[in-house]
Amino acid sequence: MASSSKHHMDLGEEYSALSLGDDEEEFDDEFPIAEGAAADIEIETPFILVGKLLSEKPTRFNFLKDTMASIWKPKKGMMAREVSTNLFLFFFVNELDIRKVLDDGPWSYDENLLLLKRIESNIPPHRVQLIAADFWVQAYNIPTNMQTYKTAEMIGSSLGSFIKADDIVDNNPDGLSTSFMRVRVQLDTSKPLTKKMKIKPATGEPFYIEFKYEKLPTFCFICGLIGHNNRSCGKLFEGSVEDYGPELRAIGL
């Protein structure tokens, strides 16, 4: 597994993820949340998410569905169904509700990442590949003259799939300096997190950009993968030592 510090670009060419704002509104036109035993109910809605909890232990479905409903607070309500261990379906009544869930992620339950993907009603959930999650990534140590939208695109493409840059970057034509740049990136959770990236500018000395991840759930300090901790990492038995640490978490976000 290659170290993340070897990434190169040529610019010359915890429940914390479940926090709610005080201005969140309560349900109106409530839609009942289905119990796990209601798997035979025909649910007529095109707004469906399949979700996979990245946890080594099975979770209690009733607790998860109630927690996520109270966190997401969809205006028109939602239903949930357990498909198998740590695999779920979430049914929404309104397009805006499902968009908000996807746009405001990533989401965690009991500090474990909940992978979500929108599917059509005729798609078997077991066949859906769930490895991607959208994160806001903070990039530090970028010189003022390089704090541009193009740089954000390059960073995002190197970390995963670039989605967008923070509005401050997007609307910053004068290149005003900020302590970090925020880039929305779709990450492949089957790959280790990237700690830093070596940059070789067209002029001047090479330098490193360092990364912090917002709403970062449980991850391994040994291999850098999201979904388990260092106490259960397979590399622990190979004599590997910690190569990652809590500094990858963006504080207060």
Cα 218 to Cα 17, 107, 108, 199, 228: the distances in Å are 11, 12, 9, 28, 6
Q: What are the pLDDT digits (tens) for 135-187?
A: 999 999 999 888 999 999 999 999 999 999 987 554 444 545 568 999 999 99
Nearest in space to 142 (alpha carbons), one of 198, 215, 187: 198
Q: Indicate yes or no: pTM above 0.85.
A: no
Q: Exposed (0-12), middle (13-18) or buried (19+): which is 198, by Cβ within 10 Å?
A: middle
